[in-house]
Structure 1
């Protein structure tokens, strides 16, 4: 399978998953689902490129801490883009209030805090939070924990992909773990070949040095990235294989696993219409 990398001025881990083979001999359609690292530094040319790719819906999986620390991104003032935010980690404000998946705690509207006091351990890779689901592979444990901790966020992100008016772009910070989980689930629902899904997930390793350089250059991520070898962030095929294997062994596959948290046959039909026609 050839990875469909996309060239941007600011993005280093952007690709179109179109062309990924399906189990029935077909393929995922191009310009339906795009994945990338964070969009905070988009140039005018990058935004035009997104329009040319037909992107209408942006699914932002960063935590509320990240969103508020980074501030408004370039797309905030652009027309034609619907931005959907769904945090995949449980976060608490300084007073202990649980922050909702879109970054609003129960009293945010009253005091204007908007998540600004969230602690920096609201980054999935810091190792400061226990996994809700633990298996031998730590990355796969993290991905399974997204479903256990924020099932509504996972469902909402997948539905945003399935029901997008045009192309859906999914991103987080690095575009590899939260994004990789969401894209893998969407592809599996659409009937993609599992080995091709694993290959797409693993492709981020090709760009890892560039990904880490981008993150270290930003204050939000610099401290948490310091001292960690680049290889520790790699998207190893065995991690996604373990994630999909767990779904198969314990639930009979991705679709029944998601069914346990509210995914429906109607959602599946829509995802397949979106991604394979």
Structure 2
């Protein structure tokens, strides 16, 4: 991965172009597919820069509690923002903080939680609907952004499925996913994240226990695709039967996004 994939903003994190990869049919276009963390801290300059990118649609994978706690400052009226709260119970704390409360807070237990989360994400009805929206909007054309809170887990899976649909090889898909560990300076952000989590949980936390939750691990994404394979036989069948992205939809995506 090259640093030029990262789009620099003052206060928006992990904003990346995830196009530009080669496939047997052509190269994925740059400047069309973007992934990001949330936009709740976006500065005025950030918002002006984002507006200039002429993004047509944004899919926000966060739950209502997350959007309420850290509402996006962007996008504005010229970009369609899609979210979904169907079937999502009102929660005082997000699931990852609940997991920390219930955990012995060892690095191994936190990694186990993350692995189990990655097995669940592709089958979460709320997220399935949002992934379906993402692919449907891509099929209509225009610049798109997909994001969650940190832009690495729910977003990472959505981006991996997108690249696979376009014909990008698995090694490249996994490398794009792992690039989050370079794109975000986890060590620099650790003290602030730790403080915020401790305030919400009223509990002291060990940075070593937080690290498996703040970065990405190839084992997490492997768990996603192992589960998809076990339940549906593979990504192609999963995308067709669960996300509604069959052969015709994939051909349309490739026509629009390969150059």
Which residue number corresponds to residue 106 of structure 2?
none
Q: Is the 8 A contact 1:137 1:242 kept in 2?
A: no
Q: Which of residues 136, 159, 162 in structure 1 aligns to 2:136? A: 159
- TM normalised by structure 1 equals 0.74
Q: Is the 8 A contact 1:146 1:154 kept in 2?
A: no
What's the offset of the Cα at 1:90?
5.0
Q: Secondary structure at the match of 1:74?
A: coil
Q: Which of residues 208, 212, 216 in structure 2 aligns to 1:232? A: 212
Q: Is the 8 A contact 1:63 1:123 kept in 2?
A: no
- TM normalised by structure 2 equals 0.78
Q: Does residue 143 of the first structure (1) align with residue 140 of the second (2)?
A: no
Q: Secondary structure at the match of 1:12?
A: coil
Unaligned runs of 5+ in 2: 103-110
Which residue number corresponds to residue 270 of structure 1?
252
Partner Cα separation in structure 2 for residue 64 and residue 49 of structure 1: 26
Q: Which of residues 158, 164, 174 in structure 2 aligns to 1:188? A: 164
Distance 1:157 1:122, change over 3 A: farther
Which residue number corresponds to residue 110 of structure 1?
none
How many residue pairs get aligned? The number is 241
What's the offset of the Cα at 1:149?
2.3
Identify which of structures 1 and 2 has the higher relative contact order when contacts are C-alpha pairs closer than 8 Å and 6+ apart: 2
Partner Cα separation in structure 2 for residue 11 and residue 226 of structure 1: 27
Structure 1's consecutive aligned runs of 4 or more residues displaced over 6 angstroms after TM superposition are: none
Q: Which of residues 135, 140, 145 in structure 2 aligns to 1:169? A: 145
Point out the structure with the larger helix share.
2
Distance 1:214 1:41, change over 3 A: farther
What's the offset of the Cα at 1:273?
2.9
Q: Is the 8 A contact 2:131 2:243 kept in 1?
A: no
Distance 1:216 1:271, change over 3 A: farther
Q: Is the 8 A contact 1:16 1:30 kept in 2?
A: yes
Partner Cα separation in structure 2 for residue 222 and residue 38 of structure 1: 20
Q: Is the 8 A contact 2:139 2:252 kept in 1?
A: yes
